[in-house]
Amino acid sequence: MRGTQVAALRDGVPAGLPDILDVVAGFDEALVRGFARVGEQDAAALAALAGALAGTPLGDPVAEAAGKVTAGSVTADHLAVLAGARSALLGAAHDALLGQLDAALGRDRSPWPVTDPAATPAGPEPAGGPAAGARAWLHEVAVSGWRGVDHELLTAAGTPIETALAVPGLRRLAVLLDGLTAELRASVPVGTMPQVPARRWADLWARGMLLTQAAPPAAPGTGTVSGRLLPLGVDLHEHDTAVQAQVHAILEPADGGPPRLVRTTVGAAKVDTIVGPAVWGLLRACPVLLAALAQRRAVTVTDVALHGGDLRWDDGRARLGEPADPFATARVLLGPATAAPTAPLDRHPVAIAEPVLLEGRVVRDDDGTLTVDLDGHPVAVDTDRLPAGGPLTPDLVAAATALLGLLRWDDGWSVQPLAVLATVKKQPVEAHNGDWADGVTDARVAKAEARAGDAVAVLRERAGRLLRR
Amino acid sequence: MADADRAAWRRRSVLRVVAPARARKLAKVPFVELADGRLQGVVSSGTDIERVYVSSVTATTHAYHCSTNNNRPCGGLRGAPCKHLHALADEAVVQYGVDRVARYLRVEVDDTVATGRQVLSRMDTRHEPTPAAVVFSRFLRHLAYLELPASPAPLPELQWFPSTVAGR
Ligand SMILES: [Zn+2]
C-alpha cells in the first residue's frame, strides 16, 4: 500500500454511508430497549428504516412491518423483515466500502455471477422446522430488548442451539447463537451494564434471524480448480465453542489463468477451556495445510472445489510444495491478482478482509495505539485482533518495518496484522500468525502450554467414560 | 470511558465483550461454568475414576449443593461447602478471574480476595439440595462438542469473533 492509497481510503467516504449508519444505529438502540413498548424515539427509528428502503423491492414489506411493530403487533415475520432491511443497508455499506477499497488499491474483482431468479433459494423454511426454536428465541429477545435479557431467557436458548447443532445446514446459526449467548451470559444482568454493544449484538441478532429463514443459497459458478497455492497469512477466529483458521492465499491456476486471491478455511468445534496455541491441535485433520503455514511453503492442489473466492480445503488433494515467502508473494502477486466477490448473504462490512502489504514505520501513541506511517499517511493497526495462538504481540508489531495484514472496516479503516518483519534488539525478526500451527516454537510459551496439560486429552478421557455411547 | 469512546463502542461490530477463558489444568475439575444463575460444574472423584461430583452455588440465594451424578449426596457436606465446592470455586477463578466470578455470584470482594475459596467464605451460604441432572447433562453436552464433525464450509459469522491475544 502507498500513502496516496491510504489517503484515497480516508477521503473517499462513500456517499450516503454516514446516513445509512445513522439509520442502522437508530434500529440498534431500539433493540437495546426492546419492542414490547415502542416509544416515540424508536418509532421514528423504525420509520427511518422503512424510509431508507422505500422504492426498493423491500420497501412495502418493511413499511408494513415497521408500522405493525410500532403499533404493538410484534410477530416473528415482521421482525424477520426488519432484520432483512437492516442487513440490506449494511450489505449496501459493504458494497460501497469494498468498491472504495478496490478503487483505492487498483484491485481487480470479479463480479458476482448473475443467477436465474427462478433457480435461487427454495422458499422459507416451513414453520416447525429445526430452526423454529431459534427463530422463536430471537423473537423473544427482540421483544425484551438486550436490557431485558435474564438468566431464564438465556437458559431458553439451550434447546434451540442443541437442535441447530445437530443439523449440518444450520451450523452457521448454531455457532452464531453460541457466541452471542456466551456474551450475554457474561453480561447478565445486561440492565446494569454501563454500556451495551448495540451494533455488535444487533448484527448478530439480524444475521441469526436471516439464518433461521432458509438455508443460504450455494454460491453459483462452483467448479474445481488445480494449481499452486501461495499462502499470504492466516486469520484465526474463535469463541468458546468454535475455532476457524482462514488462510488468505494467491492461487496460480494450473491452466495458466491469471492469479486469484482466495481464502481457504478449516475449523472445528471446541470448548471454552481449549484456548491459545492449543486450538491448532483441533485442526490436525489438515496436516498439509498446517505444515504449509508453519513452514511457510506453497501447496499444490488438484481438483479442489472453488466457490467464488472460497477454496474448499481437502487435505487429500493437497501436496506440500517448495518454500514460499508470504512477503515475496504479496510483493509480486497481490497487485495482479483478481479478487472474488462476497456472497450476498455475507455482505456486511465485517466480511471485508483484504490482504495488503504495508512497508512503513510503526508509530506508538502515548495511549499504546499503533499506526503505520505510509509517506505521512497513518493507518490504524488493530492490535485487538492478534490471535492467542500465534507469536504476534503488540510490542513485536510496534517494532515492525513491514507488515502483511488484512484491511478491515469497523466504523473506520484499520489493518489487522497477519505477519511482520521487525527489528528487535538490532536483530531482524520475522513472525507469522501461522508459525505455531504445527506446534509452539517459542520455548517460554511451549513451557506454559505443557504446564497447563493437554486439555483435549483430559476431556476425551472424561467423555469416553461418561458419554453414553 | 469517555463519552466519545462510549459512542464509538456502540457503533462497532467487533468488540471484546468478554475476555476469553484462561487455560487451566482440567484433570481435577473438568467442567466449570457460570450459567443458569449458578456457578456450577463437575469435579472428578479423587478415589474412583468412574465417579464425578456435581457441585453448584446459586447466585441469588447463595444456596450450595454437591452430589454424585447419580444424586447421592456428597459425604463432605457437613454444614459447610465441601472440598469439591472449594475446588470448583478455585478453578472458576482461574478460568474467569476473581472479578467475574464475584460479580456473577453477587459477592462484594476487595483486593485481599484472590481464590475461589475466599469468594465462598465471603458469602452467607446455606445448603439446599438441587438435582444434579441439569448440570450433568450440560457437562455431557459440553463434552459432545469435541465429537461434533467440523463444518465442511466456512462459517462467515465467525468474522465477528476474532481470536484475541488477551488472556495470554
Ligand atoms: Zn462434595
For A135-169, how does the pLDDT look when each residue is reduced to its tens digit (9 = 90+)?
Answer: 999 999 999 999 999 999 999 999 999 999 999 89
Please state, as a whole number, how many other Cβ atoms lie within 10 Å of the Cβ of residue A435: 23
Q: Which residue of B has its CA nearest to A157?
A: B36
d(CA A283, CA A243): 9
Q: Which residues of A touch B163 (CB under 8 A)?
A: 236-238, 243, 279, 385, 387-389
Task: Provide the pLDDT for residue B168.
Answer: 39
Q: Which residues of A touch B141 (CB under 8 A)?
A: 162
For range A83-103, the mean pLDDT:
97
Task: Provide the pLDDT for residue A134.
Answer: 97
- CA distance to partner chain A, nearest, from residue B90 (Å): 15
For range B113-128, the mean pLDDT:
95
A394 contact B CB<8A: yes
B56 C-alpha to center of ligand 1: Å? 10
A395-411 pLDDT, tens digit each: 999 999 999 999 999 99
The number of residues making up chain B comes to 168
Q: Which three cell numbers stand for residue B3?
A: 463519552
B2 contact A CB<8A: no
Round the average pLDDT of chain B to a whole number and report it: 91
Q: What percent of chain A has pLDDT over 70?
A: 95
Specify whether the CB–CB gap between A231 and A326 falls below 8 A: yes
The complex's ipTM?
0.96
> What is the domain extent for residue B83?
21-143
Q: Best of B39, B139, B163, B164 to disrupt the A interface by mutation (most A CBs within 10 Å)?
A: B163
Residue for grid cell 424477520: A80
For range B42-69, the mean pLDDT:
93
Task: Provide the pLDDT for residue A383.
Answer: 93
Closest CB to A186 among B15, B18, B50: B18
| Residue B122, CA distances (Å) to A31, A67, A176, B116 in order | 37, 52, 37, 10
Q: Name the band, by pLDDT with cuts 50, 70 and 90, for residue A469.
A: very low
A248 vs B36, higher pLDDT? A248
B57-99 pLDDT, tens digit each: 999 999 999 999 888 999 999 889 999 999 999 999 999 999 9
Residue B159 lies in a domain: no
B4 contact A CB<8A: no
d(CA B63, CA A154): 21
A414-467 pLDDT, tens digit each: 999 999 999 999 999 999 999 999 999 999 999 988 888 888 888 888 888 887
> Are the beta carbons of B13 and A349 separated by less than 8 Å?
yes
Q: φ and ψ at A441, to 5 degrees? A: -105, -5
Residue B167 lies in a domain: no
A125 C-alpha to center of ligand 1: Å? 47
d(CA B117, CA B14): 35
Kindly provide the b/e burial profile for residues B39-57, where b requires at least 16 CB atoms within 10 angstroms of the residue's own CB: bbbbbbeeeeeeebbbbbb
A320-351 pLDDT, tens digit each: 999 999 999 999 999 999 999 999 999 999 99
Q: Best of B13, B91, B96 to disrupt the A interface by mutation (most A CBs within 10 Å)?
A: B13
Residues 6+ apart with CB under 8 A from B23: A273, A275, A276, A278, A449, A452, A455
d(CA A155, CA A257): 53
pTM of this prediction? 0.95
Q: Domains of chain A: which residue ranges?
A: 12-211, 223-333
Q: φ and ψ at A76, to 5 degrees? A: -60, -35
Q: Name the band, by pLDDT with cuts 50, 70 and 90, for residue B167.
A: very low
- In the structure, ligand 1 is a single-atom ion and the residues with CB under 5 Å from it are B 53, 66, 74, 76, 82, 84
B21 contact A CB<8A: yes
Coil, helix or strand at residue A6: helix
> Are the beta carbons of A238 and B158 separated by less than 8 Å?
yes
Closest CB to B165 among A242, A270, A393: A393
A285 contact B CB<8A: yes
Task: Provide the pLDDT for residue B2.
Answer: 66
The number of residues making up chain A comes to 469
Residue B43 lies in a domain: yes
Q: Is A130 exposed, middle or buried (0-12, 13-18, 19+ CB in 10 A)?
A: middle
d(CA A52, CA B102): 45
Residue for grid cell 441439569: B134
Q: Which residue of B has its CA nearest to A161?
A: B141
Residues 6+ apart with CB under 8 A from B158: A175, A179, A237, A238, A239, A242, A244, A267
A270 contact B CB<8A: yes
Residue B97 lies in a domain: yes
For range A359-376, the mean pLDDT:
91
Q: Most distant CA pair in chain B: distance in Å?
A: 57
> Are the beta carbons of B162 and A416 separated by less than 8 Å?
yes
Indicate if the pLDDT at residue B113 is higher than 60.
Answer: yes
Coil, helix or strand at residue A350: helix
> Are the beta carbons of B146 and A389 separated by less than 8 Å?
no
Q: How many domains does chain B have?
A: 1
List B residues 35-94 in contact with A (Cβ-Cβ < 8 A).
35-37, 44, 49-50, 52, 69
Residue B148 lies in a domain: no
Residue B138 lies in a domain: yes
For range B20-40, the mean pLDDT:
92
A462 contact B CB<8A: yes
CATH numeric code, A223-333: 2.40.50
Number of Cα atoms under 13 Å in the Cβ half of residue A246: 26
d(CA A400, CA A383): 13
Residue B6 lies in a domain: no
Q: Which residue type sits at B43?
A: V
